[in-house]
């Protein structure tokens, strides 16, 4: 007999997790608690309550986590200008530690023995959910049905749902979607279908958040972003909460065809995966943050951040948000942001985010020194001679010693 008496399930209300809820009840003879998070996926989450109740589930958690998601996860990540493998803005990756945190918190609050998720055994999400759960609650039991059951196809899932009278929208479920999608306030992702052929172009009607650059307005739109300590606090002069900032930038970017991405990425489990992403607000945020940092950050601080960023991105992608190394790096990153204040002006036009201006009271740009006109003695150009000779000393010594350069 299983020692699992109660399980908290990350529950979307869709086919997979509805089947999982019933499967957990049957396989483990346990009570199931459902947790549904609204992190800005753009779909109603309340219907999940009725579906859970129909399966006899008594404890149902439905939470609006949009502000926490952007404030405590997206914003800290963007302070580091984070991109994975040069392109991916980590929209799926950054949502997982928050869900994992709430799963184990609810497990503790309800006296549950285990948590469960609907991630498959091929993907990154199983790693992210479970590393987060174990980091926060080391003794927690994790149940991953996709690694245990034989319901390894959509047809088998639907047959199981029908057999056990699981409340699924069969009209919707029976119409096979060509893509596996994940959405939150930062992005929406697409995998599967024709995208499994890396040569095949994504169909135009796949994209949901952005118009094609060709169909975008013929007139550019300007947007002003206000920064305080590295975070956007206002859009076009209007103060907004973190979640509302991202929602507004998604709207503006989507309107102008900004933020489409088609990549083949290296999953942590070892395989390559082709995915398409829409990240309109995040694309704007990355461009703007680098712009305000260019004005306010010391050179060596900026270069140190850039050198650390690939490792930081890898930690998030691989599920190590709660690791001591990520937390240590975050402290360093956040410490650099104290003077990252000011305004950035961008122009959005047919898929492009064009920087046109930046200003800050904490600017390190000194026009009296950088000018091409008469600097009135602010910079002594003769000083450069000694600077160059000192930096060339080791090169000259090596050359005199006959060291080959090729």
Outline where DSSP puts E strands in 163-239.
180-183, 188-191, 221-228, 231-235, 238-239
- Provide the annotated active-site residues: 16, 96, 125, 180
Tell me the C-alpha distance between 224 and 357, whole Å.
9
Tell me the C-alpha distance between 163 and 160, whole Å.
5
Question: To which residue do tokens 């900026």 refer?
Answer: 302
- Name the nearest CA neighbour of 264 among 85, 82, 83, 89: 85
Quick one: CA dihedral 282, 284, 286, 288, positive or negative? negative
Please, are residues 48 and 36 in contact by the beta-carbon 8 Å criterion? yes
Q: Please give the C-alpha separations between residue 3 and each of 22, 44, 114, 150, in angstroms, as whole numbers.
A: 18, 35, 10, 22
The two structure tokens encoding residue 240: 């907004």
Q: Tell me how crowded residue 104 is: count the other CB atoms within 10 A of its CB.
A: 20
Q: Dump the DSSP string for 11-53.
A: --SSHHHHHHHHHHHHHH--EEEEEEEESS-SS--THHHHHHH
Rg (CA), the chain: 25
SS3 state at 199? coil
Please, are residues 256 and 350 in contact by the beta-carbon 8 Å criterion? yes
* Helical (H) or strand (E) element with 62: strand 60-64
Please, are residues 379 and 369 in contact by the beta-carbon 8 Å criterion? yes
SS3 state at 115? strand
Tell me the C-alpha distance between 318 and 316, whole Å.
5
- H helices of 111-238, in order, are 125-136, 154-163, 170-174
């Amino acid at each position: 007999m299983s020692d699992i008496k109660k399980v908290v399930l990350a529950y979307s209300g869709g086919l997979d997790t509805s089947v999982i809820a019933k499967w957990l009840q049957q396989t483990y003879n346990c009570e199931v608690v459902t947790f549904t998070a609204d992190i800005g996926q753009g779909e109603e989450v309340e219907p999940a309550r009725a579906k859970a109740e129909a399966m006899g589930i008594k404890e149902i958690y439905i939470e609006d986590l949009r502000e926490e998601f952007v404030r405590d996860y997206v914003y800290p990540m963007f302070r580091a200008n984070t991109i994975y493998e040069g392109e991916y803005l980590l929209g799926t990756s950054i949502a997982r530690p928050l869900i994992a945190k709430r799963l184990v918190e609810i497990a503790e609050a309800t006296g549950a023995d285990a948590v469960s998720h609907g991630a498959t055994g091929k993907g990154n999400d199983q790693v992210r959910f479970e590393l987060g759960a174990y980091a926060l609650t080391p003794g927690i039991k994790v149940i991953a049905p996709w690694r245990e059951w034989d319901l390894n196809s959509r047809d088998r899932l639907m047959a199981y749902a029908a057999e056990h009278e699981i409340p699924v929208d069969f009209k919707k479920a029976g119409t096979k979607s060509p893509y596996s999608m994940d959405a939150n306030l930062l992005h929406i992702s697409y995998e599967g279908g024709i995208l499994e052929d890396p040569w095949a172009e994504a169909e135009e009607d796949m994209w949901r958040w952005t118009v094609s650059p060709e169909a975008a307005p013929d007139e550019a739109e300007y947007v002003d972003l206000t920064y305080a300590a590295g975070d956007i606090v206002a859009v076009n002069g209007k103060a907004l909460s973190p979640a509302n900032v991202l929602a507004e930038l998604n709207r503006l970017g989507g309107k102008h065809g900004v933020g489409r991405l088609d990549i083949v990425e290296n999953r942590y489990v070892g395989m390559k995966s082709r995915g398409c992403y829409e990240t309109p607000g995040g694309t704007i945020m990355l461009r703007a943050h680098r712009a305000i940092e260019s004005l306010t950050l010391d050179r060596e601080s900026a270069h140190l951040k850039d050198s650390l960023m690939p490792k930081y991105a890898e930690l998030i992608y691989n599920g190590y948000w709660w690791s001591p190394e990520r937390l240590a790096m975050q402290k360093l990153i956040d410490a650099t942001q104290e003077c990252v204040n000011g305004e950035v002006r961008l122009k959005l036009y047919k898929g492009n985010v064009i920087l046109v201006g930046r200003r800050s009271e904490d600017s390190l740009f000194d026009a009296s020194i950088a000018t091409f006109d008469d600097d009135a003695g602010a910079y002594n150009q003769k000083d450069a001679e000694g600077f160059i000779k000192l930096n060339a000393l080791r090169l000259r010594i090596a050359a005199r010693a006959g060291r080959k350069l090729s």
